């Protein structure tokens, strides 16, 4: 079967990576644009059209080759499917001419790329979609699920893994969220005034969770999923560029993401194994991302607002400023954690604070800080609790106690690199306990 001169042969592995990228980025853009045309109440229709376009790509590209401009091909396919759907649906009869005219204006394969006007439309529609997903009429847990699905291309199974629940539960959340949108008649718009402030917090939390899932995956083979981190950064930057979203806490969150993302190249070794902060090669930290992060951190200082994102970004900035681990300003980090727990008294934040306490006052003080955590039992199934306690005990030369904590952490961890790291720490306990049974 001959290939078009506009296509090229692509190995199966590369094709798989390309389609995953398109689904994560281009498909989500198209859903936002088509939702803007159809109306938010027809979100499912927009998703179905784009999904079908992706299916057609998977069916045809292995045989005919990948187009030179895959994104434009996908846009053209979605356009054609949308027009076919509209012509079949009687409900759109009255509005059909205007809607068809709007869809036909979208650039397709012939244009060889997206026009500047279309890019502006995408930006506005994706921002509108962010605020629709985070409408207060939708519960917070449903907001996050819907945002990850429509903005980031997550499937129900992927969202379920990220939040340690079942695929059925996520599917129910998505259905419930879309039903609430229809019932409330939520408008596809960027809100203003007090309404903007109410929804912005939901948008920021969704982006924060998206970044965290990439920075430290909750399941799967890889500890780090850079695609999720960079998608969260792209969306946060989009939000920060718009007058409606250019708020101090938006810039603070973007700074936090950028400063943490700067350290991604050194978080694992060549085999994908986890490296502790003191083991990382700081020469590999991305200086460009660090500079962008510090720029947005300075912009976040406008006004009197201080949020948890400001404090977390400040902590990340202190780490980035230190030339090596020994030079880290741990007292300053502890001071910021002391303020952070006033915003977020969750056990996870308190556990992170305990690490800073141990760096400033010693491992015994770190253990005492852990024991003082409110609702500590909620962390019992969290492997990092036991890993942190194991580190503290090992620093106190309590090899036997440390080994017990690391064994417990090994039972709870799931990611391959985490398991390898914990096994290595357990072996260190056994070496320290030479002559004893650890």
**Predicted confidence (pLDDT) per residue in 334-365, tens digit:** 999 999 999 988 899 999 999 999 999 999 99
Are 82 and 34 spatial neighbours (Cβ–Cβ below 8 Å)?
A: yes
**349-352 long-range Cβ contacts below 8 angstroms, 24+ apart:** 350/374, 351/379, 351/382, 351/384, 351/385, 351/388
In this prediction, residue 238 carries a pLDDT of 86
State the Cα–Cα distance between residues 76 and 86, nearest whole angstrom: 15
In this prediction, residue 114 carries a pLDDT of 44
Residue 3 vs residues 63, 72, 293, 414, 434: alpha-carbon distances, Å: 8, 18, 45, 44, 67
Please provide the average confidence, as pLDDT, over all residues in the chain.
81
State the Cα–Cα distance between residues 71 and 123, nearest whole angstrom: 16
Are 379 and 410 spatial neighbours (Cβ–Cβ below 8 Å)?
A: no
Encoding tokens for residue 296?
Answer: 């947005």
Tens-level pLDDT at each residue, the chain (438 residues): 444 444 444 455 565 666 666 666 677 777 877 777 777 777 777 888 888 888 888 788 877 778 888 877 887 788 778 777 777 665 555 555 555 555 555 555 444 444 433 344 445 677 788 888 888 888 878 887 888 888 777 778 777 766 667 889 998 998 898 888 888 888 777 777 777 777 888 889 888 988 887 787 665 566 677 878 888 898 899 889 888 788 999 999 999 999 999 999 998 888 778 888 999 999 999 999 999 999 999 999 988 889 999 999 999 999 999 999 999 999 999 999 999 999 988 899 999 999 999 999 999 999 999 999 988 998 998 999 999 999 999 999 999 999 999 999 999 988 888 898 999 999 989 776 554 444
State the Cα–Cα distance between residues 26 and 31, nearest whole angstrom: 9
In this prediction, residue 90 carries a pLDDT of 57
Are 364 and 390 spatial neighbours (Cβ–Cβ below 8 Å)?
A: no
For residue 7, the cross-strand partners are 67
Q: What spatial distance separates the first Cα and last Cα of the chain, rounded to whole Å?
A: 65
In this prediction, residue 320 carries a pLDDT of 95
Q: What is the 3-class SS of the chain, one letter each residue?
A: CCCCCCEECCCHHHHHHHHHHHHHCHHHHHHHHHHHHHCHHHHHHHHHHHHHHHHHHHHHHHHHCEECCHHHHHHHHHHHHHHHHHHHCHHHCCCHHHHHHHHHCCCCHHHCCCCHHHHHHHHHHHHHHHHHHCCCCCCHHHHHHHHHHHHHCCCHHHHHHHCCCCHHHHHHHHHHHHHHHHHHCCCCCCCCHHHHHHHHHHHHHHHHHHHHHHHCCCCCCCCCCHHHHHHHHHHHHHHHHCCCCCCHHHHHHHHHHHHHHCCHHHCECCCCCECCHHHCCHHHCCHHHHHHHHHHHHHCCCCCCCCHHHHHHHHHHHHHHCCCHHHCCHHHHHHHHHHHHHHCCCHHHHHHHHHHHHHHHCHHHHHHHHHCCCCHHHHCCCHHHHHHHHHHHHHCCCHHHHHHHHHHHHHHCCCHHHHHHHHHHHHHHHHHCCCCCC
In this prediction, residue 284 carries a pLDDT of 94
| Other beta carbons less than 10 A from residue 219's beta carbon | 12
Maximum C-alpha span of the chain? 85
Report all structural domains of the chain as residue ranges with CATH numbers, in order of start: 1-114 (no CATH), 116-209 (1.10.10), 329-378 (no CATH), 380-438 (no CATH)
In this prediction, residue 93 carries a pLDDT of 54
For residue 67, the cross-strand partners are 7
In this prediction, residue 272 carries a pLDDT of 78
């Amino acid at each position: 079967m001959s290939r078009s001169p506009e296509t090229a042969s692509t190995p199966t592995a590369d094709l798989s990576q390309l389609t995953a990228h398109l689904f994560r980025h281009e498909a989500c853009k198209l859903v936002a644009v088509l939702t803007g045309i159809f109306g938010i109440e027809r979100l499912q229709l927009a998703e179905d059209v784009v999904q079908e376009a992706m299916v057609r790509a998977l069916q045809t590209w292995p045989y005919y080759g990948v187009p030179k401009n895959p994104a434009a091909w996908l846009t053209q396919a979605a356009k054609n499917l949308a027009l076919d759907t509209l012509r079949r649906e009687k409900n759109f009869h009255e509005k059909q001419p205007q809607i068809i005219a709007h869809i036909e204006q979208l650039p397709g394969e012939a244009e060889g790329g997206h026009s500047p006007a279309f890019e502006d439309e995408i930006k506005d529609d994706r921002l509108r979609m962010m605020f629709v997903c985070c409408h207060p009429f939708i519960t917070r847990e449903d907001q996050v699920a819907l945002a990850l699905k429509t903005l980031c291309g997550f499937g129900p199974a992927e969202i379920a893994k990220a939040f340690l629940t079942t695929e059925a539960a996520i599917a129910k959340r998505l259905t419930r969220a879309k039903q609430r949108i229809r019932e409330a008649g939520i408008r596809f718009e960027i809100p203003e005034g007090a309404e903007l402030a109410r929804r912005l917090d939901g948008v920021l939390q969704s982006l924060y969770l998206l970044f965290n899932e990439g920075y430290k995956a909750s399941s799967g083979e890889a500890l780090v999923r850079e695609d999720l981190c960079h998608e969260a950064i792209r969306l946060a930057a989009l939000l920060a560029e718009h007058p409606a979203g250019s708020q101090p806490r938006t810039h603070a969150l973007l700074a936090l993401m950028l400063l943490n993302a700067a350290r991604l190249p050194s978080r694992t070794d060549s085999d994908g194994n986890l490296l502790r902060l003191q083991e990382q090669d700081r020469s590999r930290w991305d200086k460009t991302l660090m500079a962008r992060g510090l720029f947005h951190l300075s912009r976040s200082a406008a006004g009197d607002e201080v949020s948890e994102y400001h404090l977390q970004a400040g902590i990340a900035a202190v780490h980035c400023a230190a030339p090596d681990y020994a030079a880290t300003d741990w007292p300053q980090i502890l001071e910021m954690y002391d303020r952070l727990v006033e915003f977020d008294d969750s056990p996870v934040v308190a556990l992170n604070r305990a690490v800073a306490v141990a760096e400033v006052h010693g491992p015994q003080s770190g253990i005492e800080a852990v024991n003082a955590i409110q609702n500590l039992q909620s962390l019992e199934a969290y492997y990092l609790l036991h890993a942190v306690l194991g580190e503290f005990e090992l620093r106190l030369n309590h090899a036997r106690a440390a080994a017990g904590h690391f064994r417990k952490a090994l039972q709870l961890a799931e990611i391959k690199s985490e398991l390898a790291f914990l096994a290595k720490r357990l072996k260190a306990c056994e070496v320290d306990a030479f002559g004893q049974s650890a």
